[in-house]
Amino acid sequence: MPLDKGRFPGYILLRAMAVILFIEDEITYRTCMSGELEKAGHSVIMADNGNDAAKMIETWKSSLPDLIVTDHKMPGMSGYELVKILRGRPAFKNIPIVVLTAAVGQVKSLEQEQKVTVIDKLMRIPDILAAINKIAESIPKKAEAPPPPLEIKRNFY
């Protein structure tokens, strides 16, 4: 049953467009990009590197992100290694993954091999954000029930 926008007008505004797991080791870039994604209406979960993201993922049972954006070159576990781990898990097989890299030529095979989107990290930030937003908008929305009706109690003295 579709959500009745007239009945719950504020509910639409509170929902995030997409829940994005954003993995980036450079703090300035991570903070800038996550802030811009949040301004665009997304909910962003951040991880410092592939190892931290893999640990986070281990704890998730049902609330999975709608989209994963990861840097390619990071200390410890690279984005490439993380993608291989994610694609090996049934729950993550169909979640879109974006790999940001300055070395697009080196990871182009990843697109075909692991079904990911590779974006050049050297592009202008607005162009990167537009590409991520386009992918996020194409994700089928999860069916959600409207919030329960408010119960109003009146005290009569």
- 3-state secondary structure at position 147: coil
What tens-digit pLDDT sequence spans the chain (157 residues)? 344 444 444 444 344 588 999 999 999 999 999 999 999 888 899 999 999 998 888 887 777 899 999 998 999 898 889 998 988 888 888 899 999 888 877 666 666 677 888 888 888 888 888 888 888 888 876 655 445 555 555 555 5
Q: How many CB atoms within 10 Å of residue 63?
A: 7
End-to-end CA distance of the chain: 41
**pTM (two decimals):** 0.76
Give the burial string for 123-145 (b: 16+ CB within 10 Å, else e): eeeeebbebbbebbeeeeeeeee
Structural domains for the chain: 20-137 (3.40.50.2300)
